[in-house]
Amino acid sequence: MAIDRWRPLVSVERWDPSRTMSDIQGEVNRLFDSFLGRPTISGAGSAVRTWAPILDMHETKDELVMNFELPGVGEKDVTLSITGDLLTLKGERTANREFKDENAYHAERVYGKFERHVQLPMPVQPDKVKATYRDGVLEVKLPKAEEVKPKAIKIDIM
């Protein structure tokens, strides 16, 4: 059995509550990002957040409507495709400003390429899809396939 000599701590780090809160906030962000399907990519010792546009989806009598929020993304930077029952939205948000000789104190917006896949809950007519882009919101209207549209059946009562 070896006996080690006791040595006092070489350096004592002063507690900084703002750094601790920043660490906690980073962990909460990572937790929500992983829960919401927004992965983080580790690189060079730090986590870089990627982003995916958020989506609202609802159904009307004749169509499925999707609204994607794409703030800061140009209309020409977005592509939309449908393969079977999978809708794919691809694009890129580029930074409109670089800080060269300035100090950035806080940055939360995430830039870069994104790709979002959405499983369609019903058959649609892909050749009749209409998409409009206004005020950073992409609205996609997917007409339902004829076999899933509700049909009224008249019942003759005798």
- Domain spans, the chain: 18-50, 53-93+113-147
User: What proportion of the chain, given as a percentage, has pLDDT over 70?
Assistant: 69
Q: What is the pTM of this model?
A: 0.62
Q: Please, are residues 89 and 115 in contact by the beta-carbon 8 Å criterion?
A: yes
Mean pLDDT, residues 99-124 taken together: 83
What class does CATH assign to 53-93+113-147?
A: mainly beta
Q: Which residue has the higher pLDDT, 22 or 154?
A: 154
**Number of Cβ atoms within 10 Å of the Cβ of 52:** 17
- pLDDT single digits (tens) 27-56: 787 777 666 655 555 444 444 556 789 999
